Amino acid sequence: MKTYLILLFSLLASTTIHAQDNIRTYPLEITFNKTSSLIFSTVIKSVDRGSRDVLAQKAKGMGNVLQLKAGRMHFPETSLTIITADGILHQFTVNYADEPAVLNISLDSARASNNPPILFENEMTESDFQKHANYILDDRIQFHFKRTGQYKVVLGLKGIFIRNNTIFFHVTGKNTSNINYTIEFLRFYIRDNRRIKRTASQEVEIKPFFINLEPEEIKGKSITEWVFALDKFTIPEAKHLVIEMFEHNGGRHLFLPIKNRTLVKARALP
């Protein structure tokens, strides 16, 4: 019995050490009136804050820079977890400091080749997504163009593509006005075809796990194109997909409905 317990504990210890191969742990200090920046060697895929006392956002136009501030002074110790595109989980123990020793921190995600990365559900790498996005943007055989517009801003769907368990949407934004269109958000969700009286319409958001370019702004007299990668799905009866683009501090809010008969025409990527 004693020998069995020793073997069991040894196995558990070995499993724990192996599970830690892809985890990096760091101490981190942030403050209330200054911004700290974490700079990773690959794109940030996921951010989880231990409490609302930590304010976090990606730097505009930068997929690998996370900006941090304290939501209040002298908050209790908390945590911050970040997963990057190379499969590394970065775990931070976060404390408040009036004057952090360092404000800009570069994090090297390099690891030994025998340490397996955390696999994403689709098992495609960041370079795979970028390769497919470039193919879609260069493709001349476009899908039947669907679009909606308001006040000289147009949101359009140029194509739908499929690769194994990933579906790609080629979306375009066109601004023919002289006023820049600042994007509050651009999101995908499935909703009911009709609202039942006195009942809120159910909306199920579908979050892309890859975007070739963060939707931030469509400058006046310009066109911007995006490729969004999502886990494959189809749309149930009596529902439809909506691509919604919302203007920050403005009134040009656009809703592009997509039905299942459109979705199933997705073209296969080579």
Query: What is the 8-class DSSP label of residue 15?
Result: H
Encode pLDDT of 84-108 as tens digits. Answer: 877 788 999 999 999 999 999 988 6
We find that the CATH architecture of domain 22-107 is Sandwich (2.60)
H helix runs in 118-245, sequence order: 126-138
Of 19-33, 42-56, 165-179, 216-230, minimum mean pLDDT range: 19-33
Q: pTM (2 decimals)?
A: 0.58
pLDDT in tens, 161-173: 999 889 999 999 9
Using pLDDT thresholds of 50, 70 and 90, give the confidence band for residue 236: confident
Quick check: 178 pLDDT over 50? yes
* Integer Cα distance of 139 and 146 in angstroms: 17
CATH number for the segment(s) 126-268: 2.60.40.10
Segment 216-227 shows an average pLDDT of: 94
**Domain locations in the chain?**
22-107, 126-268
Q: 155 - beta bridge partners? A: 148, 173
Q: Evaluate whether 22-107 and 126-268 have a shared fold.
A: yes
Q: What average pLDDT is seen over the chain?
A: 82
